[in-house]
Amino acid sequence: MIQKILSYDTPRSIALSMLLLCIFAGLALAPFLFPGVRTVDTAARICIFIVLVASYDLLLGYGGIVSFAHTMFFGVGAYSVALTSLHLGRGFDALILGAAIGAVLATCLAAAIGLFSLRVRAIFFAMITLAVASALAVLVSQFSDLTGGEDGLTFKLPRELGPAFKFGQTLFDGTVFGVKLNGKLLTYYLVFGTSLVLFLITLRLVNAPFGRVLQAIRENEFRAEAIGYRVVHYKIAATCLSAAIASCAGALYAIWLRYVGPSTTLSLELMIDILLILVIGGMGTIYGAVIGATLFLLTENYLQAAMGRLTSGIGDIPVVSALLSPDRWLLWMGILFIVSVYCFPKGIVGHFRKDP
Amino acid sequence: MTHAPEHNPQIQQMTLQQRLAPAWPGLLVPLLMCAGFALTLNPSSWLTLTLSGLAMGLMIFIMASGMTLVFGLMDVINFGHGAFVSLGAFVGVSVLFALGHLTAAPSVALNLLAVLMAICAGMAATALAGWAFERVIVKPVQGNHLNQILVTVGGLIVAEQLIIVLWGPEEIYFTRPEALKGSFIIGSIAVEKFRLVAVCIGIVVFAAMHFVLRRTKIGLIVRAGVQNGEMVEALGYRLRQVFVAVFVTGCALAGLGGVMWALYQEVITAHMGNQAMILIFIVVIIGGLGSIEGCFIGALLVGLLQNYVAFVEPKLALVSNIGLMVAILVWRPMGLIPVVKAK
């Protein structure tokens, strides 16, 4: 049963399985194990980033295609949910319609970019996606009438997902293990459940024959073509699928934050975070997304605070304190990124998992 | 024995279209200028726009030329190229600040000396940084595009953060030296002085590059290396050293472009390299990876189009460049002037 749910692609390492199980349990029970606004928020972000990074893994780890437009698809999903909720009024139909429109739009965009760039040279794709994604980010901040510009958009969720909505008053007296049963809890489980489903879909995709062909293309494109697979078709299909999943993740992110803005959904920093998570977690494994996202977001939240304390402890040695200030977090991540590409190209998961 | 069949070969004149075919990429620039005139319908604003478009295009060309050559020569794609633009700008502007007494002086010669020193400092710093970047970041991942992209992106992040550590995260505003402020008025046309200088420097760089590549031995080796590296190595040249030299030169040119870009905008931020990078990529793709002439034409097209469109509808400037890239890729999938590769 578990085998079937995981598409017969088990972690294949006891340590890794334990780790994944811990993360799963932690996320599934987050509101009860770690009550508190900030921890639950971190848990929800982890769920969403797992999906986002897993969908990127489908492209980068399995297909060997470097794209810098993944945040663009993420943003498309987020913005379409926000816009439909604003214009159609609060309601589940608006959310579902927004997510669907976002997914379709992201797929079309991905197909268009893929069609005119992947057929020439794979390396064009990386450059063109970077250019297109930056152009879209600029457009979003310029057309502020529609998108709210730099300030972004705040929108309302259906009443059932708001903190004011209470349920289970008669049955559980409104609380379970001291946790209030309200709309926020429902939203968390909506995010968690959808993320889990999307993650399993991604796992299924890469373990289907489709994923095998992608791996073949990554390893030797020429040979894959010679065997008779239409390489370009597979690459475009991979791009579209990962774009659709990323836009669903974006929709979830918008629902969780009840806000969309260019810096949270479209920025290049976010793209770099995705790359970091994937490389540190392990490319081409899907499980790498889980480990990487959890580790990255936890350290981002708690290590930055630690760095802040460290700098105030050191005092004011000119360069050292500038290097260690929490704002320079990206510097250390960048160095870690380069080192991990050189020394652990398979990431944490690849380290644990000794493939035949 | 049979006779050879009757056979009288004829030399047919090439049609006009056939004769024009190789010249098409070069003709695009004047065509775009005409289109720009049709768009603005006002000679004085058209001239101003064209000049600023040329200035911008030439600056982008300076920044992009190194990257396209590095790719052509060694199949190395450097996503960290933008970092050198920022570095050059920061070093150059720091030198300008340090030479405050020269930039504020009313003498044109002293002003230009200050700018020249800023440019030299910027280029020296980026050349040195480029050498280190090649050693540490690029060399270990040669021959693997995926890792190259990842590692150079990592290098870009680190370089950008180091700039913030050294110069602080705030935008730095400054003013150009006295002699480069303001504009000449010729009739009803205002010609901004700095743009004229930028155009001159750009043309000089292009001419020098053209001369080195077409008329000198090292240029011959570089061009041959772009076409078929293995053959050049088989003839006994150490392409690896040529490559390092080209990489360092490319970085120095990016630094030069950065100093000029900074003088053009009169503000520098650590992210300016990233923004320039978008245009550099578009130009390199339009021109055909590895081709200097294509890069030149592409840069002019991008600079002109950006200015014309910004005049009509400022919001669409960047999008129009993406549109241009798409159109050219549909027309010529390998770019305007593709470099023939044996691979």
Instruction: Please provide the DSSP assignment of B223-234 as one string.
Output: HHHHH-HHHHHH
Q: Which helix (H) or strand (E) holds A176?
A: strand A175-176
What digits encode the pLDDT tens for the residues A167-196?
A: 777 777 777 777 777 888 889 999 999 999
What's the mean pLDDT in B79-83?
Answer: 90
- Among B140, B154, B322, whose Cβ lies nearest the Cβ of A132? B322
State the pLDDT confidence band at B179, using cuts at 50, 70 and 90. confident
Residue B87 carries which side chain, given as an amino acid letter?
L
Residue-wise pLDDT for B15-48, tens only, equals 888 887 777 888 888 888 888 888 878 888 888 8
- Of all residues in chain B, the one with the smallest CA distance to A279 is B150
| Cβ-based contacts under 8 A for chains A and B | 103
Q: How far is B28 from chain A (nearest CA, A)?
A: 21
Interface check for A307 against chain B (CB to CB < 8 A): the answer is no
Task: Output the pLDDT for position B92.
Answer: 93
pLDDT for res A64: 87
Say yes or no for a CB contact (<8 Å) between B330 and A116: yes
Q: What is the mean pLDDT of residues B175-202?
A: 81
**What span, in angstroms and rounded, lies between the C-alpha atoms of B160 and B277?**
13
Chain B residue nearest residue A123, CA to CA: B145
Would residue A170 be called left, alpha or beta, if left means φ above 0 and alpha means ψ between -120 and 50 degrees?
Answer: alpha
B13 exposure class (CB count in 10 Å sphere: 0-12, 13-18, 19+): exposed
Q: What digits encode the pLDDT tens for the residues A334-350? A: 888 888 888 888 888 88
Map residue B2 onto helix, strand or coil: coil
Most confident of A29-33, A145-149, A159-163, B124-128: B124-128
pLDDT value for B54: 92
Q: Does A275 touch chain B (CB under 8 A)?
A: yes
Separation CA A66–CA B150 (nearest Å): 9
CATH class of the structural domain A2-352: mainly alpha
Question: For the segment A134-154, what is each residue's pLDDT rounded down to a tens digit?
Answer: 888 888 888 888 888 888 888
Does the beta carbon of A14 lie under 8 angstroms from any beta carbon of chain B? no
Phi, psi of B173 (to 5 degrees): -95, 145
Distances (CA, A) of A156 to A77, A163, A259, A260, B219: 16, 12, 9, 12, 63
Residues of A in contact with B149 (CB under 8 A): 66, 123, 126
Q: What is the Cα B230 distance to its own chain's centre?
A: 27
Q: Do A138 and B318 touch (CB under 8 A)?
A: yes
Cβ atoms of B305 and B293 closer than 8 Å: no
Q: Note whether B204 contacts A: Cβ–Cβ < 8 A.
A: no
- Distance CA(A356)–CA(A32), nearest Å, equals 40
Lowest-confidence region among B133-142, B165-174, B187-196: B187-196
Which of A120, A127, A307, A346 best tests the B interface by mutation, with the highest count of B CBs <10 A?
Answer: A127
State the Cα–Cα distance between residues A122 and B145, nearest whole angstrom.
Answer: 9
**Mean pLDDT of all residues belonging to chain A:** 86
Strand partners for A166: A182
Using a pLDDT cut of 90, give the percent of chain A over it.
Answer: 39
What value does the CA radius of gyration of chain A take, rounded to a whole number of Å? 21
- Residue B98 near residue B118, CB atoms below 8 Å: no
- Partner-chain residue, chosen from A116, A333, A341, that has the shortest CB–CB distance to B150: A341
- How far apart CA A219 and CA A62 sit, in angstroms, is 9
Per-residue pLDDT of B223-238, as tens digits, reads 888 888 888 999 999 8
Contact across the interface for A130 and B319, Cβ inside 8 Å: no
Contact (CB<8Å) A128/B149: no
> Considering the domain boundaries, does residue B83 fall inside one?
yes
Of these ranges, A71-85, A326-340, B191-205, B269-283, the one predicted with the greatest mean pLDDT is A71-85
Chain A positions in Cβ-Cβ contact with residue B309 (cut-off 8 Å): none
- Which residue range(s) make up the domain with B303? 44-331
Average pLDDT of the residues in B208-216:
90
Collect all residues of chain A within an 8 Å Cβ-Cβ radius of residue B325.
128, 131
Q: Is B144 on the interface with A (CB under 8 A)?
A: no
Q: What pLDDT, on a 0 to 100 scale, did the predictor assign at position B340? A: 58
Residue matched to tokens 């691979």: B343
pLDDT of residue B247: 92
Pick the more confident residue, B315 or B201. B201
The β-bridge relationship of strands A259-260 and B189-192 is unpaired
- pLDDT band for position A315 (cuts 50, 70, 90): low
The total number of structural domains that make up chain B: 1
- For tokens 């047919």, name the residue: B12
Q: Which residue of A has its CA nearest to B77?
A: A123
Report pLDDT digits (tens) over A209-267.
999 999 999 888 889 999 999 999 999 999 999 999 999 999 999 999 999 988 888 88
Residues contacting A122, CB < 8 A, separation 6+ = A64, A65, A221, A235, B145
pLDDT for A356 equals 47
- Least trusted range by pLDDT, from A49-53, A259-263, A350-354, B159-163: A350-354
What ipTM was reported for this prediction? 0.84
Chain B residues within 8 A of A327 when measuring between CB atoms: 164, 169
What pLDDT score was predicted for residue A253? 94
Q: How many residues does the structure list for chain B?
A: 343
Contacts B155 to A, Cβ<8 Å: 334, 338
The answer to whether A182 touches A156, Cβ cutoff 8 Å, is: no
pLDDT of residue A215: 92
pLDDT for the residue numbered A342: 85
Please name the residues between 43 and 82 in chain A that touch chain B, using a CB distance below 8 Å: 60, 64, 66
**Conformational region of residue B341, where left means phi above 0, alpha means psi within -120 to 50, and beta covers everything else:** beta
> What is the band of A101 on the pLDDT scale with cuts at 50, 70, 90?
very high
Q: Where are the alpha helices (DSSP H) in chain A?
A: 2-5, 14-28, 30-33, 37-57, 70-88, 92-117, 122-142, 144-147, 169-172, 183-207, 209-219, 221-227, 231-257, 262-265, 268-281, 287-314, 318-324, 329-343, 347-352
Are B165 and A139 a contacting pair at CB < 8 A? Answer: no
How far CA A85 is from CA of A140, A154, A158, A189, in Å, comes to: 18, 10, 9, 20
Indicate the length of chain A as a whole number.
Answer: 356
Residue A238, CA distances (Å) to A71, A222, A292, A345, B65 in order: 16, 18, 22, 22, 33
Would you call A229 helix, strand, or coil by DSSP?
Answer: coil
Taking contacts as CB-CB distances below 8 angstroms, the residues of chain A near B137 are: 338
Q: Who's near B126: CB < 8 A, 6+ residues apart? A: B84, B87, B88, B91, B251, B252, B254, B255, B258
Can you list the pairs that A16-23 forms with residues at least 24 positions away whose Cβ atoms lie under 8 Å?
A16/A287, A16/A291, A16/A349, A16/A352, A16/A353, A19/A291, A19/A352, A20/A287, A20/A290, A20/A291, A23/A290, A23/A291, A23/A294
Q: Is the pLDDT of residue A331 over 90?
A: no
Contacts of A33 (CB under 8 A, 6+ apart): A26
CA distance A74 to chain B (A): 20
Does any domain span residue B159? Answer: yes
Q: What is the CATH number of the domain that holds B64?
A: 1.10.3470
